[in-house]
A and B are shown apart, each in its own frame.
Chain A
Amino acid sequence: MTTTHDPTIPPPRRLKPWNAVERGLAKVGITGRMLVLAAPFLWLLVFFLIPLFVVFGISLATKQFGRPPFSPLLTTDEGTVQLTLHLNNYIRLFTDNLYVAAYLSSIRIAAIATVITLLIGYPMAYAIARAPGQWRSILLMLVILPFFTSLLLRVYALTGFMRGNGVINQFLGLFGIEPLVMMQTDFAVYVGLVYTYLPFMILPLYTTLVKLDDSLLEASADLGAKPLRTFLTITLPLSIPGIVAGSMLVFIPAIGEFVIPSLLGGPETLMIGRVLWDEFFTATNWPRAAAVACAMLVVVVVPIMLLQRFQNAVVEK
């Protein structure tokens, strides 16, 4: 008979103080599971919910000179506390055409960029998912590689390609083609957005496509479907979760994008991120900027909730 356990050595015991803590917490009805769940909640409370309320509070104030550059919400005057809520920032958002136009333009630009990213990203994700095993990780690495340099640098590098005497125009010049105006146009903004957000589209698409069972495609072919038909009836419907996730990851940050439109876009490229920047730093109108930010949150949250609902519906089906 072989013994794997020496009876003289006692089994490892947990530290006594920890036991005491656990017992103490259990008395007031707190379990380890609750503590684990509390960590992310605490994080979101401190770094998301509280700042959000602060911003919302500022959006209900008015601009004034001084520090901070906005009126206090609560004022005390001879024993009475007065709560002053200014709604004119929000009213301005709907009455001033600039803001409405900026929101609509942001949504339009983000939507077009998302569609282009999807059209470019889907074949790439498909190719990576179908590549032989040892190639996949290399190709995925290449997709992620640009993140090793900062966004600002990469967007700046794009100007080197697209400016008047940039790489592209120099190349075209070799064939005697007149230089193209690319910088400070919507075109440059789309190039920047698609270039920057492509990995966010490819990665979720890849994860759904790589899970796709080969035998489903074989079964489809076996039942008489040519490759295009198999793609449309099997591959595409089964990759909808990836398309939705990728589109959300591209569309939502693209709406509020500031760096790309300000570096690559022209004066006519109207995006809400730039409006926000100008209100905050140029006009020093913090309450207006806060209102713009809160409204943007609504603009972004609504599509997220719609998509979430759609995804739940897909899962239930």
Chain B
Amino acid sequence: MAKKPQLAIDTRPWRDAANNKPFVRIKNVSKKFGDVSAVNDVSLDIYRSELFCLLGGSGSGKSTLLRMLAGFEIPTSGTIEIDGQDMTDVPPYNRPVNMMFQSYALFPHMTVEQNIAYGLKRDHLPKDEIAARVTELLALVKLQDYGKRKPHQLSGGQRQRVALARALAKRPKLLLLDEPLGALDKKLREETQFELVKIQESLGVTFVVVTHDQEEAMTLATRIGVMNQGEIVMIGEPTDIYEYPNSRFVANFIGSANMVEGTVTEDEPDHIRIRSAELGCDIYVGHGVDCAPDQILWWAIRPEKMRLSREKPEHPQNANVTTGVVEEIAYLGDISVYQVALESGKRIRVSQTNSVRGNPDAITWEEKVYVTWDDNAGSVLTV
């Protein structure tokens, strides 16, 4: 594999949207099947060489959106532009776009080589050039010795790589991947994730990946678009999506989160204070939030952002400390997840790194513990 290519000074063009032209421009796209709205008024800009993940549960419309990019579905309304050209009604065989299918869709009656060469033959390239390209692609996906095999003689991982090679053969401007690693087992999936990113970076092709696996999305993506019920509810870099979710749906969908309801009691430019009966204490948030006093809102915090202790910690604003009893402990090796029942009956999950080997002094079942967190550890959510 070649050395990692030199990255441009700014590798995140979406951060400066005013000065960067998006490569794929989806404008107000909707798709209805009969009365059912699969995709609902989605607008999305994807930049050149991005690896964009569409993440959502089943029925969220992510696959329909991908199929509209490929041309298999025509949007009911809205437009799709790829590289400055309107592609909304262009049939799939005339688009500079290739797709890797979820089931790989390898042609069973053709050898690996014939599968990879299929798209090149449609372009009427000279024979020796096709042969050279096929050899090059087989090397890229490390299947040099498998060219003469039929798809049914390959393992799942090998088929996945043939599908990738076939999709890359025509050097598409945009590669669409529908659950590319879904059919692989966990170990192989993890290996292939990095391989996929490496190939994407070395070729500089724009990837749009559809997945329901948030871990996969976090590993692969430059940016993630979270979809729910036909709409994109949040677009952001993996860290944004995880650390700064914009809604209760995103906070719950990505990773796990403890969520409580509360009322704003202090609303200052540099901090706010939320009273939460559920949590049994005040929440002191160390930054201003666009809200009003007495507004009811939600506060979400990740399990690993909380700490457990036997002694009551001090907090200058007399907040961010609550207490409860350890009900369950899930020992996962690297971390342990504690389920703590608060006095209100609310259960929260707190994870702690097991940094001491076989710690005899670890917090155990039925112990009364204090739970605390930093002022900026949680997210204030209004929707």
**A222-B99 contact in complex given A213-B105, A216-B107, A234-B107, C-beta closer than 8 Å:** yes
Residue of A216, A223, A233 ringed by the most chain B CB atoms within 10 A? A223
CB < 8 Å: which of B70, B106, B108 contacts A222?
B70
Task: Decide if A223 touches B166 in the complex (CB within 8 Å).
Answer: yes
Residues of B in contact with A (beta carbons under 8 Å apart): 70-72, 91-94, 97-99, 101-103, 105-109, 118-119, 122-123, 150, 166, 169-170
Interface centre among B99, B105, B123, B170 (most CB of A within 10 A): B105
Tell me the bound Cα distance from A220 to B170 in angstroms.
13
Q: Which 7 residue pairs spanning A and B have beta carbons closest together?
A: A223-B119, A224-B122, A215-B105, A219-B105, A221-B92, A221-B93, A222-B99
B337 to chain A, nearest CB (A): 31
Contact in complex: A219, B99 (CB < 8 Å): yes
Bound-state Cα–Cα, A315 to B192, Å: 32
Alpha-carbon distance A19/B108, docked complex (angstroms): 48
Q: How far is the CA of A216 from the CA of B166 in the complex (A)?
A: 13
Q: Which of B92, B94, B122, B166 contacts A218 (CB 8 A)?
A: B92
Measured CA separation A224–B90 after assembly (Å): 12
Task: Name A's B-contacting residues (CB within 8 A).
Answer: 213, 215-216, 218-226, 229, 233-234, 237-238, 317
15 contacts between A and B (CB under 8 A): A215-B103, A218-B72, A219-B99, A219-B101, A219-B105, A219-B106, A220-B107, A220-B118, A221-B92, A222-B93, A222-B98, A223-B98, A223-B118, A223-B170, A233-B118
Q: Is the CB of B103 within 8 A of A213?
A: yes
Does A223 lie within 8 Å of B105, measured CB to CB? no
CA distance A222 to B96 in the complex (A): 9
A233 cross-chain contacts in B, Cβ below 8 A:
118
CB distance from B34 to the nearest CB of A (A): 12
The answer, among B103, B109, B119, for a CB contact under 8 Å with A224, is B119
Q: Which residue of A lies closest to B99 (CB)?
A: A222
Which B residue sits closest to A230, measured CB to CB?
A: B93
- A215: which B residues are within 8 A, CB to CB? 101-103, 105
Cα distance, A238 to B151, chains bound together (Å) = 14
User: What's the minimum C-beta distance from B382 to chain A, rounded to whole angstroms?
Assistant: 42
Q: How distant is the Cα of A224 from the Cα of B124 in the complex, in angstroms?
A: 11
Whether the pair B101, A224 counts as a contact (CB closer than 8 A) is no
Please pick, from A216, A223, A317, the residue contacting B122 in the complex, using a CB distance under 8 A: A223
- Nearest CB of A to B104, in Å: 8
Q: Is B109 a contact partner of A237 (Cβ separation < 8 A)? A: yes
CB contacts (< 8 Å) of A219 on chain B: these are 99, 101, 105-107, 166
CB contacts (< 8 Å) of A237 on chain B: these are 109
Extra inter-chain contacts (19) besides given A222-B72, A233-B118, CB under 8 Å: A216-B108, A218-B101, A219-B107, A219-B166, A220-B107, A221-B71, A222-B71, A222-B92, A223-B93, A223-B98, A223-B122, A223-B169, A224-B122, A224-B170, A225-B93, A225-B122, A229-B122, A238-B108, A317-B109
Residue among A219, A229, A238, A317 with the most chain B CB within 10 A?
A219
Tell me, in angstroms, the Cα distance from A237 to B110 when the chains sit together: 10
In the bound assembly, the distance between CA atoms of A1 and B150 in angstroms comes to: 54
Tell me the bound Cα distance from A215 to B101 in angstroms.
Answer: 7
Q: How far is the CB of A218 from chain B (nearest CB, A)?
A: 6
Query: With the chains together, A220 CA to B117 CA distance in Å?
Result: 12
Interchain nearest-CB distance for A315 vs B (Å): 11
Residues of A within 8 A of B71 (CB): 221-222
Q: Which residues of A contact B122 (CB under 8 A)?
A: 223-225, 229
Chain A residues near B108: list those with CB within 8 A. Answer: 216, 238
CB proximity of B208 to chain A, nearest CB, Å: 14
Cβ-defined contact, A226 with B93, below 8 A: yes
Residue in A closest to B109 when the chains form the complex, CB atoms: A237
Q: How far is the CA of A238 from the CA of B103 in the complex (A)?
A: 17
CA distance A216 to B110 in the complex (A): 12
Which B residues are in CB contact (< 8 Å) with A216?
105, 107-108
Distance of A213 Cα from B166 Cα, bound (Å):
18
Which B residues are in CB contact (< 8 Å) with A213?
A: 103, 105
Q: In the complex, are the beta carbons of A221 and B91 less than 8 A apart? A: yes
